[in-house]
Amino acid sequence: MRIYLLVLAGLLLSSCSADEGNWLPAPQSWQDITIRMETRPTPIRQGMNEFILIANHQQRGFVNDLLVEVHTEYSGWKQAMPDGALGVFRRALPVKDVLNDHLYVRLTRRGQHHEMVFSFAPDQP
């Protein structure tokens, strides 16, 4: 029975370990907003990918007064469409080089603008 529990615990721990293929960039902040990026598919691939940006107030929940525009190296600026009023914005864009391309994000809120850059892969040593 003990061996069974040890094997089960080992399997659970290994399934929870970080997978480099599922790497996501760290969230970024502007004013009182934190922006987190996710992709579909995960991990990101060459071709069309959906980018999901989740905007949260740092202490008060979701942001709903934000215009989000995005682009990659191979597209012009496109508006990310809000998914309801919960601070989730989506847009599909082309990716050609997963290791070196970036997602550029332009935020507009109350007449102020800010730009962010998210990498698609961790920095190479």
- Tens digits of residue pLDDT in 49-106: 999 999 998 777 778 789 999 999 999 999 999 998 789 999 999 999 999 999 999 9
- DSSP, collapsed to helix, strand or coil, labels residue 114 as strand
Task: Spell out the domains of the chain, with CATH numbers in brackets.
Answer: 19-119 (2.60.40)
Q: For residue 28, give the nearest of 53, 1, 60 by alpha carbon.
A: 53
Q: How confident is the model at residue 9 (pLDDT cuts 50, 70, 90)?
A: very low
pLDDT of residue 4: 43
User: Strands 78-79 and 28-30, how do they pair?
Assistant: unpaired
What is the pTM assigned to this prediction? Answer: 0.80
